[in-house]
Amino acid sequence: MSAGNLLESFLSMMVAERGAAQNTIENYQRDLEQFLTFVPKNNMADITDEDIYQFVQKLSRMNYAPKSIARKISALKEFFKFLFSEKEIKENPTAYLMAPKQEKPLPKFLTEAELKRLTGAALKKEGLSGRRLAVMLILMSACGLRVSELVGLPENCINFDKKEILVRGKGSKERLIPISDEAIEAVLDYTLIRDNFIRGGRKSIWLFPSLNSSSGHVTREAFFAALKDLAVEAGLDPKKVSPHVLRHTFATRLLNHNADLRSVQKMLGHEDISTTEIYTHITSEKLIETVKRLHPLSRLK
């Protein structure tokens, strides 16, 4: 079987058996196609660990970030593990391949004042698209959603009586997140104009449908671009504002208001609490203020 056919079989397996998300499949395909271009051997059994090593070294020379290299290595390991299990190769050339060590970057976030400026600028926008953007911003910052989760929300995702939103996250795993009165009110007002984004009076399953998107709903790219423009209007550095920064801001605010780490983990949809723990550095300033205010030695002159 050709390399291209094997790659197609691998990606199909990832979808059918692993339930891999579309983003994951696209990343795997792009990374593995890059490798197969670098090592033009149609017979996968001819690929050696030296070929893999040379590919990783080239990525380093091309100044790929350690995180990107680690992702590509992960794709290679999964691909060759699949080939080995299918008996397409006798030895796995990635068996002893190690990913580069990565420093965990500290998450960027907006202050409460900056978030208010951004939300205020959104609420001042005129037109239907402006009103939709404001609701999306409020909902994302109030619930800590990933951008893919936000744009893919179904119309019936909110239980207005229980004040909860049902979100389908990575790996199609569902979680319930409490939703604030402000966000509920914003969504209810938006539902009055929602049909303007549906062509020809047809039905749509999406909370944020779009007339211009093939997916039927607002795309991640469109929301990202609109958010950057909004940051400029709010007098903020657009480099500092992104959907992921809004998610970080949500987590930061919760921890700064004494939410426990497990609750934040569940609301963010993190599999491992160590992923959530990175936010705890942000509370350091608050801890310092608390020590200065309450510790007996801090009051000694």
Look up 244 and say whether it is catalytic.
Answer: yes
Specify the pLDDT at position 192: 94
Maximum pairwise Cα distance, the chain:
79
Look up 146 and say whether it is catalytic.
Answer: yes
Specify the pLDDT at position 289: 58
Specify the pLDDT at position 301: 43
> Is 3-85 a domain of CATH 1.10.150.130?
yes
Look up 257 and say whether it is catalytic.
Answer: no
Q: Which of 131, 146, 248, 253 is catalytic?
A: 146
Look up 64 and say whether it is catalytic.
Answer: no
Specify the pLDDT at position 290: 59
Specify the pLDDT at position 152: 94
Specify the pLDDT at position 103: 58
Three-state secondary structure readout of the chain: CCHHHHHHHHHHHHHHCCCCCHHHHHHHHHHHHHHHHHCCCCCHHHCCHHHHHHHHHHHHHCCCCHHHHHHHHHHHHHHHHHHHHCCCCCCCCCCCCCCCCCCCCCCCCCCHHHHHHHHHHHHHCCCHHHHHHHHHHHHHHHHCCCHHHHHCCECCCEECCCCEEEEECHHHCEEEEECCHHHHHHHHHHHCCHHHHCHHHCCCCECCECCCCCCCECCHHHHHHHHHHHHHHCCCCHHHCCHHHHHHHHHHHHHHCCCCHHHHHHHHCCCCHHHHHHHHHHHHHHHHHHHHHHCHHHHCC
Specify the pLDDT at position 2: 83
Look up 247 and say whether it is catalytic.
Answer: yes
Q: Which of 71, 117, 170, 266 is catalytic?
A: 170
Q: Which of 217, 248, 253, 279 is catalytic?
A: 279
Domain boundaries, the chain: 3-85, 112-289
The pTM (predicted TM-score) of the whole model is 0.62
Specify the pLDDT at position 187: 96
Selected from 3.40.50.620, 2.10.70.10, 2.40.40.20, 1.10.443.10, the CATH number assigned to the domain covering 112-289 reads 1.10.443.10
Question: Residues of the chain whose pLDDT is less than 70?
Answer: 100-107, 281-301
Specify the pLDDT at position 128: 94
Q: Which of 194, 247, 248, 253 is catalytic?
A: 247
Specify the pLDDT at position 144: 93
